[in-house]
Amino acid sequence: MSALTITMENFENEVLKSEKPVLLDFWASWCGPCKMVSPVIDEIAGEVTHAKVGKVNVDEQPELAAKFRVMSIPTLAVMKGGELVKTSVGAKQKDAILSMLKE
């Protein structure tokens, strides 16, 4: 499964109402570090079954970026049960991203 594109329209169903934890990647097309993280996020999306993985384009979804108080990108956020449980700013290696999804 590939990473979902998260928008204001699907945020409630895909993230807030998700039975599984959700890893969100806040990114933009002009962001160099985002381009380094993007293939890793896609890889994780194809590998994990215990969580959803979504991408939020901050230029297209400024309301979501504001809701999560995203000041720098890439920002990674983990939601569980509709609650924000972890955030991380900056490019991370795959193992560090995966560890965010662990209990």
In eight-state DSSP terms, residue 91 is: -
Are β-strands 52-57 and 4-5 bridged in parallel, bridged antiparallel, or unpaired?
parallel
Per annotation, catalytic residue among 31, 64, 77, 91: 31
Tokens in use for 44? Answer: 């994780």
Residue of 3, 34, 51, 77 with catalytic role: 34
* 9 counts as catalytic: no
Tokens read off for 5: 């594109």
What tokens does 14 get? 């895909």
Q: Is 71 a catalytic residue?
A: no
Active site amino acids = 31, 34
